[in-house]
Chain A
Amino acid sequence: MKKIENKKASQIRQIWALVRKSTFIKLGVSIMILFGIMAVFSPIWIHINPEVYDPIIGADPNVHGSVGPSLQHPLGTDDIGKDLFSQLLRGSQVAFMLGMMVSVFSTIIGAAIGLIAGYYGKIWDTLLMRLADIILTLPRLPLLIVISGIFGTQSNWIILLILSLTFWPIISRVIRAQTLSLRERPFIESARVSGVGNTRIIVKHLAPNVLPIAFYYLTVTVTGAILVEAGLSFLGFGDPSNMSWGMMLQWCFVKGYVFKAPYWMIPPGLCISLLAFSFYLIGVGLEEMVNPRLKKR
């Protein structure tokens, strides 16, 4: 028993050593922490002067038209005197939340469907994988635009739902392939022969084994979700009751300030790109660790 524990501990130590060596993961985590701080700082900043700094309802009455950075407004204001810095901070919260939630939901859906398709096979497999194929071939952004158009006003919850429903197929395919190969391994076979129930086999034996890959797709999905949400918001299909980076850039674009106010145009796009970048970097770093075939020759 002690030996097993030691083995586990040494495994964790090995993984930790690999993580510390990975430039990609280190860089990704550093950027992510930066945005985490921004998200946490958001309410503190608003608290200083809610009437001016609230990203939704606040505005600086002394400002007319968009002005550049100053002490009161570190990033300047938009055309109606709203503080851009507080918008940016709030955007960090929204992007984090949405990205994470979409990725968690779609990973759960994808993992569940992949496990079921791979483990039960037969008609389940065919049906679920066909469905995955169809969703994969759908052009995602146009589809979201069309759906947004039909729903009329948009809320982040609907965006969350639709994104989760379109992001699961890639995950489910990978998980299914893994499950198929795992299903033939001796330890699953012996569990089945000794009369362990199907659900229990899936939960106890298969799920832990596909977890590392699921984790990789989790991070990559965050990137996708952040970029698609930003794209939707930028095109004017975002949640009007909240603030997001995509929306900041949209207003800058629509109101004709893109060339006049770089202090307004640059930060939101940079933040979207950097946050998406950080998650993807972590994903790639993880892939290098998980996939033995990518290791050095």
Chain B
Amino acid sequence: MDTVLEIKNLGMSYDTTEGSVSAVDNVSFRIMNGEAMGLVGESGCGKTSLGMCIMKLLPENAKITNGEIIFDGEDIVPKTEDEMRMIRWKGVSMIFQAAMNALNPVYKVGDQIIEAIVAHENIKKEEAREKVRELYKLVGLSPERMENYPHEYSGGMRQRAIIAMALACDPKFIIADEPTTALDVIVQDEIIDEIKNIQKKLNMIMMYISHDISVIAETCDKIGVMYAGNFIEYADTFALFDNPLHPYTKALMSSFPSIEGPKKELKPVPGEPPNLLNPPRGCRFYPRCSYAEEICRNERPEFIESESGHFLACHRVI
């Protein structure tokens, strides 16, 4: 299998009035052809920042401090805005949250998708329109809806349209950033099913970002767990669920209800994520970890392969 995306030692930080915040720190992983990878973590752990790094859509006060993002065999970190424009949507596209204002309120939804196609493919507007019509059918929307404005859609419909938009240029790789957050539970399930279907149908390579590990378990082949800007565990979905190694992963799993498993008491992860202005010197999870030892306070654990295909950053387990 070939590697589609490989991230090596990626670091990204925000400049704030109070200092520099390292939102993504020393992250490495790779995604193979045909794989769906899930990225899970609490809000503010840097998972969205990581997604934005891959598209190089960073706010003005943020910068990639080190590392490489090798997409399709090329490092995109040194690429200019103009070069990135070619990669965006055609190479990497993104499913945004519908709850956000991801669609421009003053243009018809159909036109906003057509616009993306026309920007990248050398085809006429009418052909693009035909393509959007097909996409609408694929995501379960009636093509007449193309003529409506975003505010005339329901939340679920908007999310479907955003999925259609992400598929518009047949991208190699799709990042889905919390696509079901802020939808009600029934619609959430529908959208997840839709994504699973499309994923099967199109053999989509994707990275699915969510704070909800159960949603990721349903959709992804591999799972990466992020904590405070670090990757702490990365493994095959089954392996991870069978044998979660990192204390944080364990805590995270017990904080969400499992859909099929037996009923058990839910335990929220105690404590708060660290202040990234001044992160702990050693393991960033150390202050909240119930298994913490002296070494955890002083030394940053390395992210290494502990079993075949199972990566981990924890002193205790090794």
B210 → A minimal CB distance (Å): 26
**Could you tell me the distance between the alpha carbons of A33 and B59 in the complex, rounded to whole angstroms?**
38
Q: Size band of the B side of the interface?
A: under 10
- A156-205 with Cβ < 8 A to chain B: none
Considering the complex of A and B, which 4 residue pairs feature the smallest CB-CB distances, nearest first?
A: A297-B60, A297-B59, A296-B60, A296-B61
Say if the beta carbon of A242 comes within 8 Å of chain B: no
Within 8 A of B (CB), among A283-297: 296-297
Cβ of A14 within 8 Å of any chain B Cβ, yes or no, is yes
**Chain B nearest CB, measured from A198 CB (Å):** 35
Please give the distance in Å from A21's CB to the nearest CB on chain B: 10
A20 to chain B, nearest CB (A): 13
Q: Kindly state the interface size class of chain A when it binds its partner.
A: under 10
**Is the CB–CB distance between B60 and A14 below 8 Å?**
no
Q: Tell me which residues across on chain A come within 8 A of B60, comparing CB atoms.
A: 296-297
A17 to B61, CA, bound (A): 18
- Give CA–CA (A296, B59) in the complex, Å: 9
Shortest CB distance B60–A (Å): 5
Q: Please name all residues of chain A whose beta carbon is closer than 8 Å to the beta carbon of B61 when the two chains form the complex.
A: 296-297
Q: Using a CB–CB distance below 8 Å, which chain B residues touch chain A? A: 17, 59-61
What are the residues of chain A within 8 A of B59 when measuring CB–CB? 297
Nearest A residue (CB) for B59? A297
Residues of chain B with a CB closer than 8 A to A14's CB: 17
CA distance in complex: A297, B15 (Å) = 11
B55 to chain A, nearest CB (A): 16
User: Which residues in chain A, 249-291, are within 8 Å of chain B measured between CB atoms?
Assistant: none
CB distance from A15 to the nearest CB of B (A): 11
Chain B positions within 8 Å of A296 at CB level: 60-61
Nearest-Cβ distance from residue A293 to partner chain B, whole angstroms: 13
A 13-34 binary contact with B (CB < 8 Å = 1; else 0):
0100100000000000000000
For residues 4 through 19 of chain A, which have their beta carbon under 8 Å from a beta carbon of chain B? 14, 17
Least CB distance from A11 to B in Å reads 12
What is the CA–CA distance of A23 and B248 in the complex, to the nearest angstrom? 47
A292 to B49 alpha-carbon distance, docked (Å)? 21
Would you list 7 pairs from A and B whose C-beta atoms are within 8 A, ordered by A residue? A14-B17, A17-B17, A296-B60, A296-B61, A297-B59, A297-B60, A297-B61
Whole-angstrom distance from the CB of B275 to the nearest CB of chain A? 15
Closest to A14 in B: B17
Assembly CA distance A296 to B14 (angstroms) = 13
**Which residues of B sit under 8 angstroms from A17, Cβ to Cβ?**
17
In angstroms, Cα B18 to Cα A14, docked, is 9
A296 to B17, CA, bound (A): 12
* B60 and chain A: residue at smallest CB distance: A297
* B residues less than 8 Å from A297 (CB atoms): 59-61
Roughly how many angstroms separate A14 CA and B61 CA in the complex, as a whole number? 18
